[in-house]
Structure 1
Amino acid sequence: MTNILDFSKALMNILDFWMDHTIDPAGGFYGQIHANNEVEPGAPKGSVLNARILWTFAAAYKQDPQTAYLQTATRAFDYIRAHFIDREYGGVYWTVDAKGKPLDTKKQVYALAFTIYGLTEYAAATGSKEALDEAIRLYRDIETHSFDPTRGGYLEAFARDWSALGDMRLSAKDANEKKTMNTHLHILEAYTNLYRVWKDDGLRVQTGRLITDFLHYMINPRTHHLVLFLDEDWTPRSDTISFGHDIEASWLLLEAAEVIGSNDAFLRRAALDMVDAACKGLAPDGALYYEYEPSRGHWRKEKHWWVQAEAMAGLVHAWQISGDAVYLERFERVWNFIDRRIIDHEGGEWVWGLHEDNSLMQGEDKAGLWKCPYHNSRALLEVSRRLDCFKVTK
C-alpha cells in the first residue's frame, strides 16, 4: 500500500500552488494561469472555479486547521459574495471580468450547485451563518426556477432574469439539451453537503428524488454507464461514455443516500456495477481514458487529470464497500500513474492531461474556468479519509 504521507505531500503540492500562484492582489483569484505558471491577468473569473477554490480550502481546513487554509477559503467566500451572487435576480453569474464586474450573466444551474457546495463546506468548517444563509437562498433559487415539477429533474440554464435561454450548453463540447447528467450530479453533490448542515425535510425529499432520477433515467440499465444528455422528457440524446463521470457518480450517489439515511443493498450493487463499467476504460498503464462513443466506435484515449482523480476516489470506495482487492490494486495503478505522469512535482499542481502515448496535451491551463483544485484535492482527501490514516505534516 502506498505510504499515506505520499497523499499528504500531493495535497500540499496542490494547496501550496493555489496559495502561491493564484491570489490576485486586486481581489480574489486570477482567472487563468497557463501550463508554464504564467498568469493571464485580464482573464475572466469563473463562478465554478471560485466555488471550487472555496470548497477545497474549507475542506482542507476541516482536516488540518491551518490559518493559511482558512484565510484562502475566506478570500474565496468574500469574493463570491461580493462579485458572483446576483443580488437583483438571485443565482450566480457564470463569469465576471478581471475587475469583478458581471460578464456572462446567464444562470447556469451547474454553477449554482457548485456555489452551494463551496458555501456549505465553508459553513461546516467555520460555523458561518452567512455562508449557510447564502447556500439556502441558492437552493431555493434552483427549486423555484430549475426544478421540473411535471417530469422531475432540473433544467439546465436560464438568462439572468430566469427567462428561457436558447443556448443552455455548459461548454462548447456539450449538447444543447434541457437536462444533463453532469448538472444533476453536482446538484446532488451540493444538496448532500447542504443537508449535512441543514436538516430540512424538503431538501431531503429532493435529494432522494435526484437519486431516483439517476436510477430511472441517467444510468443505462444494460451497460451501467451514465446517459450524459437528455431532453425534457428524459429521452437520451447521447451515447457517449464518460468514464470519469461513471466512476465519480458511483460514490457520490451512495454518499448522498447515506447522508439522507436511505442507503440499501440495491444502490450499493448499482454503484459497483458503475465502477466495473468505468473500468472498461482503463489503459494498460493504469490510467483511465476519457471517453468512448459506441455508435462511432470512437475512443478518446486522452488521460485527463480530473478523470484520474475520480478514479482514485471511486476505486477506493468500491474496495471499501465490496472488500474486493481488485479495486485496491487498480487504485494503486492509477495512483502510480498520477504520481509519475500527472503531478507537476516542480511547478506545482497537476497537468491538464496526456495523450494516449503519454505526451503532454499542449495549450491547456494549469488554472482556469475548468482547471481547478477540486477534483484532485477531493480525491486525496477522500482516499486518506477512507483509508483512515489522514494526517498532514509540514
Structure 2
Amino acid sequence: MNVTPSPATEIAGSIAALRTHYDAVILPLWTGPGWNAAMRLPYEALSGIDNGPLPVKRYRAMACARQLYIFSQCEGSGAAAHAAQLFESLRTRFADLAHGGFVYSIDAQGQPLDTAKDLYTHAFVVFACAAYLKRSGLPQARALLDGTTRLIEQRFAAASGGLYHAALAQDFSAGGGTPLQNPIMHLTEAYLAAYEVTREHAYAKRLEGIASAVLAGFVDPATGCIAELPLGCDGNRIEPGHQFEWFSLLSTAPALFDGSPLAQALARAFEFALRHGVDTGTMGVAAALNLDGSPRDPAQRIWAQTEFARALAVRGDGFALAHLQAWLHAFPARFLHARGWHECLSPAGAVARGELPSTTPYHLATAYQALAEATAD
C-alpha cells in the first residue's frame, strides 16, 4: 500500500536535499578550486562550466567576510581551520593601516585597489566577526567586532536622521552620496548578530534607532515597502527580495521589533512583494519593481529566491508553508545543478549569468538555516 507523505514530511525531505547539495557540492568549491592558497583568499568567482577560477581582477573584503561567515557556520572537517585562515586574511589583507577600517578591494597581487570606505563592507566585517566569535570564542574576533562597530558609529553615522553614509573616501571624508537601504539592511543584520553573541544593550538601542530612521526615510506609506533610495529620489525602485530579507531579519528578533511600526509596514510589504514580484507559476522572484508594483527588472537572481524562502519559513503560517512547499518543488530544478548553481535566470528559465560568485553561498546558508529551524519540530 502506497502512503502519501504528509506536507511536513515532504517539506523536511526537500530541505534535507538542499542541505545535502550545499554540503556535497557548494562548500567544497571554496576549499578546492575556489581557494587561492597562495593569497589565502577565495577567488571572486568560478566558471559555471568547469568550476575553474575566473581571471582575477580583484579580491573584496566583503567577499572574504561572507566566506568567513559560511565556514564559521560549518561543522565539517577542516571548517574551523579554514575559518581561521579567512579571519586572518580579512583583518590583515584588507586593513587600512593609515586611515583605519577596511579598503573595499585589493588587486591580484594583494595591493590596495579600491580604497573607498564602504558601509556594506564594514557591516559584513561585523557580521562575520560575530559568527566567528560565536564559533571560536577568540578575543581577536571580539576585538575586531568591537573596533569595527565603533568605527561605523563614529565615521559612517550621518549627522542627523539616524541613517548612515553608504560610502566615504579613504580618509572617511564625505563623498556627497545619499544613504542607501541595502547597506543599512546589512548593518541591521550585523548588529543583530553582534547583539546575539555579546548581549550588549547598545546594539539593541542602535537597532531600534535604525528601525525608526528606515521607517521615516525609506518606507513608502502606500505599500509599506522599503525603497532602495530615500523617498523622493528620482528613479527609485522596490526590490522584492529586500522586502523578504527585511521581513526575515525583523522576525528573528521579536523582543526588539514585534509590534513596531517598521514590522507592521513589512507585513504589508511582504504581501505587496508576493503579489507583484513573484511568478506563482515558477515561484521565481523578480529583481525589481516600480513603486506602483509594475515590472521594472524581471531577472530572477538566486539571492532573491533564497530570501523569499527564508521569509516564508520565518512567517510559518499555513499560507506561507503552502508557498514554501511550491518553492521547494521549483527552486532546485531551476537554480541548482551538479556543479553548483545558476546565479541569474530569465523569467523563462534561460541562464542569464553563468558564473559562481563566492558571495552567493552566504545567501544559501542563511536561507537553509532558517528552513531547518522552521521545520525542526
Q: Count the aligned residue pairs.
A: 361
The Cα shift of 1:203 comes to 2.6
Query: What 5-or-longer segments of structure 2 have no aligned partner?
Result: 1-9
Partner of 1:105: 115
SS in 2 for 1:327: helix
Larger relative contact order, structure 1 or 2 (CA cutoff 8 Å, min sep 6) = 1
The Cα shift of 1:267 comes to 5.6
Partner of 2:335: 342
The Cα shift of 1:238 comes to 4.2
Rounded Cα–Cα distance in structure 2 between residues aligned with 1:289 and 1:305: 10
**Which letter maps to 1:365?**
E
Rounded Cα–Cα distance in structure 2 between residues aligned with 1:20 and 1:337: 29
Residue in structure 1 matching 2:28, options 16, 21, 24: 16
The Cα shift of 1:42 comes to 2.8
The Cα shift of 1:268 comes to 5.0
Rounded Cα–Cα distance in structure 1 between residues aligned with 2:111 and 2:339: 31
Q: Deviation digits for residues 242-290 of structure 1, max 9, x if unmatched?
A: 01011111111232453xx453376654343222111021112111111
SS in 2 for 1:85: coil
**Which letter maps to 1:130?**
Q
Residue in structure 2 matching 1:304, options 284, 295, 301: 301
**Which letter maps to 1:51?**
A
Partner of 1:367: 357
**Which letter maps to 2:265?**
A
State whether residues 254 and 267 of structure 1, in contact with CA within 8 Å, keep that contact through their aligned partners in structure 2.
no
SS in 2 for 1:197: helix
- Superposed CA RMSD in Å reads 2.1
Rounded Cα–Cα distance in structure 1 between residues aligned with 2:335 and 2:266: 27
Task: Work out whether 1:377 is the aligned partner of 2:365.
Answer: yes
TM-score (norm 2): 0.89
Rounded Cα–Cα distance in structure 1 between residues aligned with 2:290 and 2:263: 27
Partner of 2:133: 123
Q: Name the CA shift for 1:191/1:294 in 2 (closer, same or farther; >3 Å).
A: closer
Residue in structure 1 matching 2:60, options 35, 46, 51: 46
The Cα shift of 1:8 comes to 2.1
TM-score (norm 1): 0.86
Runs ≥4 residues deviating over 6 A = none
State whether residues 275 and 318 of structure 1, in contact with CA within 8 Å, keep that contact through their aligned partners in structure 2.
no
The Cα shift of 1:217 comes to 2.6
Task: Work out whether 1:243 is the aligned partner of 2:231.
Answer: no
Task: Work out whether 1:211 is the aligned partner of 2:250.
Answer: no
State whether residues 302 and 342 of structure 2, in contact with CA within 8 Å, keep that contact through their aligned partners in structure 1.
yes
Q: Deviation digits for residues 187-225 of structure 1, max 9, x if unmatched?
A: 111111111222333332211101222233322221122
Partner of 2:342: 351
Rounded Cα–Cα distance in structure 1 between residues aligned with 2:257 and 2:181: 21
The Cα shift of 1:293 comes to 2.1
Larger deviation, residues 16-25 vs 265-274: 265-274
Percent identity reads 22
Query: What 5-or-longer segments of structure 1 have no aligned partner?
Result: 167-176, 390-394
